[in-house]
Every structure is written in C-alpha cells, then in structure tokens.
Amino acid sequence: MLESKEFLRLILDTLPEHIVVINAEGDIKFVNRSWQTFGEQNNCACNEQWQQQNYLAICRSAACQNDEFGAKAFNGIKQVINHQCEEFYLEYPCHSDMEKRWFLMRAASLFYDNQRFIVISHLNITERKLAEQQVQQLARIDGLTQIANRRFFDSFILQEWSRCSRLNLPVSLAMIDLDNFKTLNDKFGHLVGDSCLKEVAKLLPEFTRRPGDLCARYGGEEFVLVLGNTQSKQAQSLVTRLIDMISKLQLAELTGHPLTVSIGLATIYPSSDSDAMLLIEMADCALYQAKEAGRNQLVVADNIEPLNLEKCP
C-alpha cells in the first residue's frame, strides 16, 4: 500500500501547505489539493490547467510587473535548479482585498527516475507575521501617549536626515516642552499631569501627516515634531498654530489654568559632513532660550548666532 501513488497523493492532499512540483525547466508536474483550492479561491487564471503552466514563467511575469518577491522567487528557484543551493526560503506577502496574508516559500530539489524536480511549498505564516507586527508596533509606541517613542524618533530622524540630504531638502525639528510641569504635577497630582500629556499628544498627529513627518514623545514632558522637506517659515506657522491649540485645550477644568508650552525650532539643509545631532542640538538650544525668555513662546534657531549655541547647556 505504501508504494501506491494514490496513497501518497492522498497524503499530500491532507497537507495545509500549497505544494507544486516542477521540473528543471519550470514546467508544473504536480499540485496538491491545497494548491488547487487556494487557486480556486483566489480566481487564478490558470486554474484547472496547472499542469500546462510553467512556474518560472509565472514568477518572471510577476517580476516584470515590479513584484520584487516574484523576482526573488525566480532567482531562488533558479539557484536550486543550478545546484547553487540545496534549499531556498522566502517569506512574502500575498494580501487579498479582504485580509492580510503572508507565506513562507520553500524550494528543494528531488531526484526521481533519473530526473530532477523541485518541490515548492507555500506555508501560511500570517499568524506569526501579525504577532511580529504587533510586537514591532508596541516597541515603537509610547505607552502613555500612544504616539511614537524616543527610540523610534532616534531611527526616524536618521532616515529622514539622509533622505533630505540626498534630495537636498530642508528638515525642520520642533522641540516642545510643557511649561512648569513639575508645579502642575505637585499641585494637582501625576494623574492630572498624565492627562495633560495625553491631550497634547492627541493634537500632534494633525501636524505630521506626510511620510517624512513624525511626532514623538522625546522624554518626560517633552515632545518633538520632525517635519521633512519643510522650510523654517512653513514650520513656524505650523508650530504657532500648535501653541494656539494647546492654549485652548480644556485642561483649565482640571487645573484652573491654561497649559502653555515652550518650543525650540530648527531647520537645516542636511549635508554629507553634518549629522542629525546638529539639528537636535540647535532645536534644544532654541528651546532653552524660549524657557530663559519667560516660557510660552517659540524661538527659532535660525535667529541664533552659532556662537550662542555654545552657551546652551
């Protein structure tokens, strides 16, 4: 019984992996039931006639339509066919209109009857991928305010700095610090302090809608806005609007006083011999000056003489 082809086929049909076997030219020689069913459910054009298809041609045609995973699959399978490796693995997305899906593809060679075949299986790994994404999401979000955390800001600013350096675009950075927050905490308690932080954080995403923008909690009662490809004048008008919105927050019910912030704003055209630390230092220095000048105001680093930077803490 074990040698019966029918028996082996039935075993393959019970597997959840979608399995296709091709010859060294890429011609499909076998597909299991999971493969067939997946094709039917996803309206694959070549359903019913899989064994008249060439799998490498399918991958190449996907690659020609700029599907990077089609190109990777094609190259990987070719490597197995050409004995450059025994096995090839590829994790790839395959989203439908209704759901997100990811698969793990494995290609391995097989000799049978003096002929060479490649067994390609596709395992659904969506559950693991979604869990990974959730962990990544949690690792980049600040628990209290639900906006990006410092760690994510640190990597984002580097990316945006090099993107703007390549394209010769300005980057603006606003450092926003709540005024007299210690007094507020001492007077009304930390829970009220926390509510203030959450309310301010809720306003920020409205100012950072483009892919080159980010709002983040920089530390305790300090926030940052990264505004890629934004000139100082544009950034100043955004930040001025933010100051106005913060002053109108309904926090007076909690504290009896309007909440105010001090903001340091810096704008730089990145160059290859400078790094993002300079922008952060300039914005920080401007923030320091805003505090020194009495708080509840914006200071723009453009107006700071280079010498004055040294006076900052």
**Min dist. Cβ of residue 276 to ligand GTP (A):** 23
**Min dist. Cβ of residue 296 to ligand GTP (A):** 9
* Burial 231-268, CB ≥16 within 10 A → b, else e: ebeebbebbeebbeebeebebeebbeeebebbbbbbbb
| Phi, psi at 70, each rounded to 5° | -60, -45
**221 flagged as catalytic:** yes
Q: Which stretch binds ligand GTP (CB under 6 A): 19-27, 180-188, 201-209, 264-272?
A: 180-188
| Residue 229-268 contact track with ligand GTP, rule CB under 6 A, x = bound | ----------------------------------------
Q: Using CB under 6 A, pick the residue from 160, 179, 213, 284 that binds ligand GTP.
A: 179
- Using rule CB under 6 A, residue 144 touches ligand GTP: yes
35: nearest Cα among 117, 109, 112, 103: 103
Residue owning tokens 């039931």: 33
Residue 306 or 313: the one with the smaller Cβ distance to ligand GTP is 313
Residue 59 or 239: the one with the smaller Cβ distance to ligand GTP is 239
Residues 210-229 that bind ligand GTP (CB under 6 A): 220-221
**Min dist. Cβ of residue 201 to ligand GTP (A):** 11
- Using rule CB under 6 A, residue 297 touches ligand GTP: no
- Using rule CB under 6 A, residue 292 touches ligand GTP: no
Q: Which stretch binds ligand GTP (CB under 6 A): 31-39, 192-200, 202-210, 235-243?
A: 192-200
Q: Using CB under 6 A, pick the residue from 159, 180, 255, 297 that binds ligand GTP.
A: 180
Residue 221 or 284: the one with the smaller Cβ distance to ligand GTP is 221
Residue 128 or 182: the one with the smaller Cβ distance to ligand GTP is 182
Give the alpha-carbon dihedral of 278, 145, 248, 282, to 10 degrees: -10
- Mutual orientation of helices 33-41 and 5-14 as an angle, nearest 10°? 50
CB under 8 Å to 261, separation ≥6 — which residues? 176, 177, 178, 179, 200, 242, 243, 246, 296
Residue 116 or 295: the one with the smaller Cβ distance to ligand GTP is 295
Name the strand (E) or helix (H) holding 67.
none
Q: Six-digit token pair at 40?
A: 């039917």
Q: Please state the three-class secondary structure of 88-131 as a single string.
A: EEEEEECCCCCCCCEEEEEEEEEEECCEEEEEEEEEECHHHHHH
Q: Of the listed 221, 281, 305, 310, which one is catalytic?
A: 221
**Min dist. Cβ of residue 291 to ligand GTP (A):** 5
Handedness of CA 92, 96, 100, 101 (dihedral sign): negative
Residue 75 or 195: the one with the smaller Cβ distance to ligand GTP is 195
Per the CB < 8 A criterion, the answer to whether 243 and 264 are in contact is: no
Which residue type is seen at 184? Answer: L
Determine the residue with CB nearest ligand GTP. 193
- Using rule CB under 6 A, residue 177 touches ligand GTP: yes
Q: Six-digit token pair at 248?
A: 């109108």
Catalytically active residues are 221
Give contact residues for ligand GTP (rule: CB under 6 A).
144, 177-183, 185, 190, 193-194, 197, 220-221, 291, 295
